[in-house]
């Protein structure tokens, strides 16, 4: 990061926006090279604004920013991908917003996280490309982001005994992985509450752990979609609560109470 030079260019994805006064907005942006930034977009809510429409949440843009003491200012925004299709569809928008929110809550301002940027960009592109698979895209995104943050789910071996899982498989939120039938019936380890997984869902988890976001086996992804989405949302909730307690997740910046 070139200190001393107040002006800089970067690519960014708008995570969320806040209104500021009559016609301005504060944008929370994940940039490719400069991490998460908060920037004022002056006049972006005026209809005459040159880049008003370009700075909606989830927009991917090339930005020209001016570094400020507490906040940057957006000087120019050139659209790369508006992801309008994602914002226009309720399911896709919910999935895309969940991605942006997750990234927002685990990042600190100004800390470069280029791999998270890549994941978020790919996640949004996949939502646009495969709208019918929004659930699997979101679940796989959550899986990958958690792994990137240092929390890899144990899905190929039993999280309790490390043995081969066998046919019948449960998921333990407390252990962050699958539990085999032997461990479940023995009630061993403090595995907490267990969720029974269908063979498709456990197959999908195994696939997710060894493949990139956006690579999926067609039948598995379609069969296991709703179950995987529900499971990952519970896993994520559990993980976030735990991380919050240990202060590892960045405290979300409270919304500025300026203007409307």
Q: Segment contacting Zn ion (CB under 5 A): 8-16, 30-38, 163-171, 229-237?
A: 163-171
Could you tell me the smallest distance in angstroms from the CB atom of residue 188 to Zn ion?
7
Q: Which of 126, 139, 146, 158 binds Zn ion (CB under 5 A)?
A: 158
Tell me the number of residues near Zn ion by CB under 5 A.
6
Long-range CB contacts (< 8 A, 24+ apart) of 115-122?
A: 115/148, 116/30, 116/145, 116/148, 117/11, 117/13, 117/30, 117/31, 117/32, 119/144, 119/145, 119/148, 119/213, 120/13, 120/30, 121/13, 121/60, 122/213, 122/214
Of 160, 172, 191, 202, which one interacts with Zn ion (CB under 5 A)? Answer: 160
Paired strand residues for 154: 177
Looking at 86, 146, 180, 197, which residue binds Zn ion (CB under 5 A)? 180
User: Which tokens sit at 79?
Assistant: 């659209």
Residue from 53, 149, 161, 230 in contact with Zn ion (CB under 5 A): 161
The answer to whether residues 6 and 17 touch, using CB atoms and an 8 Å cutoff, is: no
**How far apart are alpha carbons 228 and 85 in whole angstroms?**
24
Among residue numbers 40 through 99, which ones bind Zn ion (CB under 5 A)? none
Q: How far is the CB of 255 from Zn ion (least distance, A)?
A: 45
Q: Which is nearer to Zn ion, 169 or 232 (CB)?
A: 169
Q: Which stretch binds Zn ion (CB under 5 A): 67-75, 143-151, 175-183, 231-239?
A: 175-183
Written as one string, the DSSP assignment of 209-245 is HHS-TT---HHHHHHHHHHHHHHHHHHHHHHHHHHHH
Does position 15 interact with Zn ion (CB under 5 A)? The reply is no
> Which C-beta is closer to Zn ion: that of 129 or that of 188?
188
Residue closer to Zn ion, measured from CB, 87 or 157: 157
Q: What angle do CA 59, 8, 14 make, to 5 degrees?
A: 15
Cα separations in angstroms, 142 against 8, 166, 167, 168, 239? 31, 25, 25, 24, 11
158 vs 249 by CB, closer to Zn ion: 158
Looking at the Cβ atoms of 115 and 196, the one nearer to Zn ion is 196
Q: Of 110 and 163, which CB lies nearer to Zn ion in the complex structure?
A: 163
Q: Contacts with Zn ion in 181-220 (CB under 5 A)?
A: 183
Q: Catalog residues that contact Zn ion under the rule CB under 5 A.
A: 158, 160-161, 163, 180, 183
């Amino acid at each position: 990061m070139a200190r001393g030079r107040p002006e800089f260019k970067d690519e960014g994805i708008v995570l969320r926006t806040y209104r500021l006064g009559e016609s301005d907005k504060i944008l929370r942006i994940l940039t490719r090279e400069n991490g998460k930034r908060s920037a004022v977009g002056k006049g972006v809510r005026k209809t005459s604004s040159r880049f008003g429409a370009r700075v909606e949440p989830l927009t991917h843009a090339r930005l020209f920013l001016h570094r400020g003491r507490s906040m940057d200012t957006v000087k120019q925004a050139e659209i790369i991908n508006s992801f309008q299709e994602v914002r226009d569809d309720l399911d896709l928008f919910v999935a895309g917003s969940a991605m942006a929110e997750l990234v927002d809550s685990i990042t600190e301002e100004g800390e470069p996280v280029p791999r998270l940027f890549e994941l978020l960009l790919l996640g949004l592109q996949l939502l646009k490309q495969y709208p019918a698979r929004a659930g699997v895209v979101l679940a796989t995104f959550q899986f990958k982001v958690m792994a990137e943050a240092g929390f890899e789910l144990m899905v190929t071996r039993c999280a309790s005994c490390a043995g081969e899982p066998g046919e019948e498989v449960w998921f333990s939120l407390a252990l962050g992985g699958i539990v085999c039938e032997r461990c479940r019936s023995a009630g061993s380890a403090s595995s907490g509450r267990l969720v029974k997984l269908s063979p498709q869902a456990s197959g999908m988890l195994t696939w997710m752990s060894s493949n990139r976001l956006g690579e999926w086996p067609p039948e598995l992804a379609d069969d296991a979609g709703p179950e995987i989405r529900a499971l990952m949302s519970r896993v994520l909730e559990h993980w976030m609560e735990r991380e919050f307690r240990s202060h590892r997740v960045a405290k979300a910046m409270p919304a500025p109470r300026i203007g409307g």
